[in-house]
């Protein structure tokens, strides 16, 4: 019998010290992220034994991995039935969230930065996935209409409709980023959205032309133009906005706050955004894209294959440490600069390598008579095939140790192939076969081949290194 989500949440809450130990909660695709008051009272052994809990990760927040779909429902139950404050509601309340903020400040600066980036982009992932799929379908229909494979007003209408849906998010990605960054940095959300809108607004070109920073012959080489600095510029801009707004609010009389604070805040931020933040972040973005071009988009076949192998092989440890969210700005920069993301399809091979490794372990466990491990693998494989890797990481490969490494080594072969074939995606999201519609037309087949290569690679290398004795006591 499948355990109800209410029972699952109750057992989780009991293990972490009750609802009074939770400052706030939120969720990503597979994890409930809990901002705890006191992590020392968590009974981790009991939590790991809860049916439905696939793993835990004590990172920027206390993360309980429960799988796709369940994570959102579990967080809703925490908010609605246990009256836990959602992180969105609590982020701007300094007094109530003081201890959580202090706890975060005790972490390393790098982990703080990764946590911030993660929390800016995670709420947008469903929209990113949907927009990317519709953009892909729109491009595919357009190509088929141009080639004469499809004809008629119906398909042209469908192409336009899909483009409308896709562009409704991707065309205004900067604005959504500004709003979410404002939530994280404690600024007024609408003002954060305005900073994002500034970065893509047409009058920016007029201003750049007026002060001599616009190159009409080569617009992309302009010191200041729309989109210059991309998502990096928006995040830095909202970071400055939050501090300017906070400072102004302290010195402005309450009676004038509603008018003076937003006006002066936006004026100061707009000047800094146009003449400092966007040019500097634009330089950084251009440098990053150029650097990635030497590694990821190299015309040298050897470099392309080697970089694809290394990136795919190293991705699983990054997921384990929670560092993979730090790659999201790179995805966004690639999408803005190149019209597609080449890094995501390569890294998606890591999950496929795990699937191949798990299949190999299944046969070894069958031979060794470990029925419990076989059942775990059988339950986790469907999620892994669909691109949700946590059940296999925390339930199979990581506890065994060696397969966690061999899965990555096998995935590297798929990553090398995908990189060599120049596969690009319209967006990013879960990996596995779910990501197939995200790939650009003409590259879907190469992505699928890469997944199969990763399966085979993960299977062969794991089977070569894992013996019956390795699975007997797991």
User: Annotated catalytic sites, by residue?
Assistant: 28
Side-chain half-sphere exposure of 386, counting CA atoms within 13 A: 11
- The runs of H, that is alpha helices, within 122-229 are 125-147, 153-170, 173-185, 189-198, 203-210
DSSP 215-231: -SSSGGG-SS-TTTTHH
Q: Judge whether 279 and 288 are in contact, CB under 8 Å.
A: no
Contact 440, 337 (CB under 8 A): no
Indicate the SS3 state at residue 362. helix
Tokens 């030497």 correspond to what residue?
A: 294
| Rounded CA separation 238/185 (Å) | 8
Ramachandran region of residue 449, left (φ > 0), alpha (ψ -120 to 50) or beta? alpha
> Among 385, 412, 403, which residue's Cα sits nearest to residue 471?
403
Q: Which two tokens stand for residue 416?
A: 């090398």
Q: Which of 131, 195, 123 is nearest to 164 (CA)?
A: 131
Contact 178, 195 (CB under 8 A): yes
Computed over its alpha carbons, how large is the radius of gyration of the chain?
24
Helix and strand element counts for the chain (H, E): 24, 4
Alpha carbon of 459 to those of 7, 218, 347: distances in Å? Answer: 37, 50, 18
Ramachandran angles phi, psi of 427, nearest 5°:
-165, -165
Which two tokens mark 446?
Answer: 């190469």
Point out which residues pair with 62 in neighbouring strands: 34, 58
Structure token digits, residue 455? 């399966």
CA dist., res. 320 & res. 409, Å (int)? 16
């Amino acid at each position: 019998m499948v355990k109800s989500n209410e029972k699952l949440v109750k057992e989780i809450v009991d293990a972490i010290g009750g609802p009074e130990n939770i400052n706030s909660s939120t969720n990503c695709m597979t994890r409930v992220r809990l901002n705890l008051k006191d992590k020392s009272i968590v009974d981790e052994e009991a939590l790991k034994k809860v049916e439905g809990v696939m793993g835990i990760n004590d990172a920027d927040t206390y993360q309980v991995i429960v799988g796709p779909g369940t994570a959102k429902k579990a967080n809703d139950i925490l908010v609605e039935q246990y009256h836990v404050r959602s992180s969105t509601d609590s982020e701007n309340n300094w007094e109530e969230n003081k201890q959580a903020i202090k706890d975060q400040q005790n972490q390393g600066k790098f982990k703080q930065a990764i946590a911030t980036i993660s929390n800016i982009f995670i709420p947008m992932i469903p929209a990113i996935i949907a927009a990317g799929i519709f953009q892909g379908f729109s491009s595919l229909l357009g190509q088929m209409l141009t080639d004469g494979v499809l004809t008629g007003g119906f398909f042209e209408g469908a192409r336009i409709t899909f483009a409308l849906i896709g562009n409704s998010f991707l065309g205004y990605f900067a604005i959504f980023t500004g709003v979410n960054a404002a939530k994280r940095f404690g600024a007024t959300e609408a003002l954060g959205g305005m900073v994002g809108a500034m970065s893509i607004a047409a009058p920016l070109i007029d201003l750049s032309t007026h002060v001599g920073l616009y190159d009409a012959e080569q617009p992309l080489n302009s010191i200041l133009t729309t989109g210059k600095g991309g998502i990096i510029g928006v995040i830095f801009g909202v970071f400055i906005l939050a501090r300017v707004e906070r400072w102004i609010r302290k010195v402005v009389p309450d009676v004038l706050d509603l008018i003076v604070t937003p006006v002066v805040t936006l004026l100061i931020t707009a000047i800094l955004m146009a003449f400092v933040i966007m040019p500097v972040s634009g330089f950084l973005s251009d440098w990053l894209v150029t650097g990635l071009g030497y590694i990821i988009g190299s015309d040298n076949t050897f470099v392309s294959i080697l970089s694809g192998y290394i990136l795919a092989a190293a991705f699983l440890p990054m997921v384990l440490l929670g560092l993979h969210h730090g790659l999201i700005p790179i995805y966004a920069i690639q999408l803005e600069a190149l019209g597609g993301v080449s890094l995501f399809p390569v890294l998606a091979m890591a999950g496929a390598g795990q699937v191949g490794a798990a299949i190999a372990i299944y046969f070894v466990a069958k031979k060794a008579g470990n029925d419990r491990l076989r059942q775990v693998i059988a339950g986790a494989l469907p999620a892994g095939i669909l691109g949700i890797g946590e059940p296999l990481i925390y339930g199979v490969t990581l506890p065994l140790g060696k397969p966690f490494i061999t899965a990555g080594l096998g995935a590297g072969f798929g990553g090398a192939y995908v990189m060599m074939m120049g596969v690009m995606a319209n967006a990013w999201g879960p990996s596995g076969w779910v990501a197939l519609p995200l790939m650009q037309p003409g590259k879907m087949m190469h992505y699928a081949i890469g997944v199969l290569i990763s399966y085979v690679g993960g299977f062969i290398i794991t089977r070569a290194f894992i013996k019956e004795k390795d699975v007997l006591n797991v």
